[in-house]
Amino acid sequence: MRLPIVTYPDKRLKLHSSEVVVFDALLHELLDNMYETMITSNGIGLAAIQVAHPIRVLIINLPDEEGEQYPDDLLEMINPKIIQFEGSTYYQEGCLSVPGFYEEVGRYERLRLLYQDRFGQEQILDAEGLLSVAIQHEMDHLDGKLFIEKISYARRKKFEKEYKKNQKSKS
């Protein structure tokens, strides 16, 4: 089932998401619904809070070199924690909760993280490049942060003006 996406400036996006302690069929259903929602919205990453569930769950499905997304490449991360990071990188980010806006954001280049899979099993992962960027973007959602809060003041003001203008022309 496709779920409605919570969009900026909805205050729910500022919520701190809670740790997941129960890894049951309801969690699996949420993960499956998040996947359908992300794919049908042309997304590559989604956090549970973006579909109104304030729990520490995120999914990422990066396209391959040909730009194709495969379900086999889906990463489901529950209660992720960064245990090591190094370097820095800039990437033009977007977000399903801030449709139509893209901006350069600074991130760590490489990460090592711990997380749990849908069955509660502990996993360890080394990530770099786009995967590292996507993980940091989605993990920020778990702490109520959006990528637009990481851009410069001048760009943020420009964003707010343009975004409000677009909202008006839609309604």
Which CB, 24 or 73, lies closer to ligand QAP?
Answer: 73
Ramachandran bin of 131, using left for φ above 0, alpha for ψ from -120 to 50, beta for the remaining angles: alpha
Residue 100 in the binding site for ligand QAP (CB under 6 A):
yes
Distance CA 69, CA 63 (A): 4
State the nearest-atom distance from the C-beta of 140 to ligand QAP, in Å: 10
Name the minimum Å distance from CB 141 to Co ion.
6
The residue type found at 148 is I
141 binds ligand QAP (CB under 6 A): no
User: Which residues between 25 and 84 bind ligand QAP (CB under 6 A)?
Assistant: 41-45
Residues 6+ apart with CB under 8 A from 23: 78, 116, 118, 119, 120
| Paired sense of beta strands 89-93 and 45-47, if any | unpaired
Report the b/e string of 30-46 with b at 16+ CB within 10 A. bbebbbebbbeeebbbb
Residue 80: phi and psi, rounded to 5, are -70, 145
If binding is defined by CB under 6 A, does position 91 make contact with ligand QAP? Answer: yes
Is residue 142 involved in binding Co ion (CB under 5 A)?
Answer: no
Please identify which residue in 76, 137, 139, 150 interacts with ligand QAP, judged by CB under 6 A: 137
What are the catalytic residues?
138
Under DSSP, the state recorded for 147 is G
Q: Does 94 bind ligand QAP (CB under 6 A)?
A: yes
What would the x/- binding string for Co ion be over residues 89 to 118, using CB under 5 A? ------x-----------------------
Q: Tell me which residues touch Co ion (CB under 5 A).
A: 95
Q: Tell me which residues touch ligand QAP (CB under 6 A).
A: 41-45, 91, 93-96, 99-100, 130, 133-134, 137
